Amino acid sequence: MADSAPNASLQARHVAKSFVSGRLRSTVLHDLSLDINPGELTLISGPSGCGKSTLLAILSGLQRPDQGQVMALGEELSRLDQHALERFRLRHTGFVFQGFNLFPALNALEQVELPLSYLGLTPAEARRRATASLEEVGMGPRMQLRPSELSGGEKQRVAIARALAKEPGLLFADEPTSALDAANGQIVIDILHRIARSHGTTVLCVSHDPRLVGHADRVLSMEDGRILSDHVAAVPAPPAPPFSASMESSA
């Protein structure tokens, strides 16, 4: 891939994507190129329908572009067949979604352990990683509870722990705060920022939530399938405070 930034862990070059419905062809992404660095929380911001979730899906390998190339952790995704692409996502990526995607019958610890079994970890190592990840997001005391016993903010923290336990190089978050109130949205974005800083993870978040803009290291503003601006924070955001008892019980 030409003109690659040496430190970038995620790169796109001339990516385009369209969808066809009957005779109507709608272009969602127009010739996008970008570089995303590790150890930073990068926010893709813009109104609903601007193409940001499609861009996230392409950068994470969930969709293939019509044109262009994506390089993730040194792998050109277009050169991977479906099996290799699925294995790459399993081993190197974590996902956090708006709807949490938790299993009703499993407690928080089991939610986080489940994907680790596909990585070939021993049960003891899976339990250690799952426990450590839940403690890192402030859910240690509540790891035996099922989703019905958790608040929306707590469910999202379990979902983040599930992604974090895989120790991914790339962490993708699609509208992670849109279902949360202001206090829990703040907690979630602070956690994502801490993960980027402390683990050196590439964290890419898409959202139309204006509350997140001031908490990202970098903000890419999108409209109509194009990146209109690329703003890097002049002063790095301060580290998030330790979890407190009030955070543990937030609704």
Domains contained in the chain, CATH given: 35-65+84-237 (3.40.50.300)
Question: 189: buried, middle or exposed (CB in 10 Å: 19+, 13-18, 0-12)?
Answer: buried
Per-residue pLDDT tens for 58-109? 999 999 999 999 999 999 999 999 999 999 999 999 999 888 999 999 999 9
d(CA 54, CA 60): 10
| Contacts with 63 (C-beta within 8 Å, 6 or more apart), sequence order | 17, 54, 57
Please state, in angstroms and rounded to a whole number, the distance separating the CA atoms of residues 48 and 225: 11
Using alpha carbons, select from 82, 83, 54, 53 the residue that is nearest to residue 68: 54
Span 185-202, pLDDT tens digits: 889 999 999 999 999 999
Tell me the chain's radius of gyration from C-alpha atoms: 18
pTM: predicted TM-score of the whole model, two decimal places? 0.88
Give the count of beta carbons closer than 10 Å to the beta carbon of residue 127: 15
